[in-house]
Amino acid sequence: MIVEDRPATYGEVFADRAFRVLFVARMFTSASTSLQIFALSVLVYAGTGSPFLSALAFGAGFLPQVVGGLLLGSLTDRWPPRPLIVSGYLLSAMVFAGVGGLDLPVPVSLLLVALLACGTPVFTGAATQVIAERLTGDAYVLGRSLSSMSSSIAQLLGLAGGGVVVAAMGPRSALLLAAGCEALSAGIVRFGLPSIDVPVSTKGRLVRDSWKGSVALWSDRTVRRLLLAQWLPPAFVTGAESLLVSYATGQGFSPTAAAALMSGLPAGMLLGYFVIGRFVTPSRRERLVSAVIFLLGAPLIGFLAEPAWPVAVLLAALSGCGFAYSLGLQRAFLAAAPQGRQGQLFALQMTGLMTLQGLGPFVLGALAQFSSPALAIAAAGTATVALAFAF
């Protein structure tokens, strides 16, 4: 039997109606999430004058995901995907509208965002499971690539437009706009996504079964290696990314140069996913995983020389290209998913990714506090390069 080793095409991926619907909905919700994070941080700082609480508002949607992923993850294999995804978008719309429209105490606002974050891995896992069910072979990998590209575009739009929107509308109105985007995503999925029949598990109580499934998945050596390979490199690089503002400030960059530096990583990510996802064969992607992880980390070591802003932007963009290493892991990751736990595996993957990306800035920020942003960014790059030889 001859297995075709060619990249899938965008036409093959977008030919599937379910993928088209989820892609459009993801674009809206990614943009709304970026806007919500920015607006909530501004709102909290304006109300309290506390940098700590403002930073907490920025990270409130990340760390709590570990709770939902570990204790609610099997929900993705219990409910049909369409109502589960729609419920996630509607809950997001309600929380954003409540925080923006009501004069809530800051602790209550942060608690609502944290509670919403607990469900994020479940809703995201359900959407990923649909893509895995509908797309086969390299079309699935390219579909994941397109999903990541949409997140990069949303991040770029958030960086470019978030401040403008908040300045023009105020943080509360911006949160209401984010709520509207989430409600729109819910409508797109409800009326656009076809009803999809997937095996639905009903065994055991939800929390107990979720914990049991998480332990079983983590105990599988192949699954554990693939999870760590998708968690650790982004954690280090996201930690480095969180220091780019302080690096730009310390170097005396203009606001325009600082914005360009912040846009370097997501722009490079977009380019890397496009080139490697579309033009590199599946087998070559899998052979190049270690080399592309090296690309993810190596440019960050160059910050040790404290380069001027054009070079710093180039280094950040080159590093961003390296995020595409994950495409070489997707076929093996999908094949490792046990029957009846596929949705939970996707939820667990998202849980670890978001949790460690939340911890990365904390750890590297502490290192930068006692050394310098340039040294901490270079340390993140060095750790990532070391991981290239581990995977």
Q: What is the pLDDT of residues 12-70, one digit of tens each?
A: 888 999 999 999 998 888 888 888 887 887 888 788 777 667 667 766 777 788 888 88
pLDDT band at 201 (very low <50, low <70, confident <90, very high): low
Please state the rounded mean pLDDT for residues 273-290: 91
**Range with the lowest mean pLDDT among 152-156, 166-170, 186-190, 373-377?**
152-156
Please state the rounded mean pLDDT for residues 275-286: 90
pLDDT band at 188 (very low <50, low <70, confident <90, very high): very high
Instruction: Give the integer Cα–Cα distance in Å for 63 and 68.
Output: 10
Write the DSSP symbol of residue 338: P
Q: What pLDDT shows up at residue 1?
A: 40
Q: What pLDDT shows up at residue 371?
A: 87
Residue with the larger pLDDT of the pair 272 and 343: 272
Within 10 angstroms of residue 256's Cβ, the number of other Cβ atoms is 9
Asked whether the beta carbons of 350 and 300 are under 8 A apart, the reply is no
**pLDDT > 60? residue 198:** no
Alpha helices in 135-220 (DSSP H): 138-169, 171-192, 206-219
| Nearest alpha carbon to residue 377 among 388, 363, 358, 357 | 363
Within 10 angstroms of residue 97's Cβ, the number of other Cβ atoms is 17
Domains of the chain, earliest start first:
8-219 (1.20.1250.20), 220-391 (1.20.1250.20)
258-281 burial by CB neighbour count: b if 16+ within 10 A, else e?
bebbbbbbbbbbbbbbbebbeebe
Q: What pLDDT shows up at residue 197?
A: 62
pLDDT band at 159 (very low <50, low <70, confident <90, very high): low
Residue 191, Cβ density class (10 Å: 0-12 exposed, 13-18 middle, ≥19 buried): exposed
Instruction: Give the integer Cα–Cα distance in Å for 247 and 113.
Output: 29
Write the DSSP symbol of residue 73: G
Please state the rounded mean pLDDT for residues 146-163: 72
Please state the rounded mean pLDDT for residues 62-91: 85
Global confidence as pTM: 0.80
| Nearest alpha carbon to residue 17 among 180, 196, 176 | 196
| Mean pLDDT score of the chain | 86
Within 10 angstroms of residue 94's Cβ, the number of other Cβ atoms is 15
Instruction: Give the integer Cα–Cα distance in Å for 100 and 45.
Output: 14
Q: What is the pLDDT of residues 342-359, one digit of tens each?
A: 878 888 888 888 888 878
Residue 192, Cβ density class (10 Å: 0-12 exposed, 13-18 middle, ≥19 buried): middle
Residues near 209 by beta carbon (within 8 Å), at least 6 away in sequence: 74, 201, 203
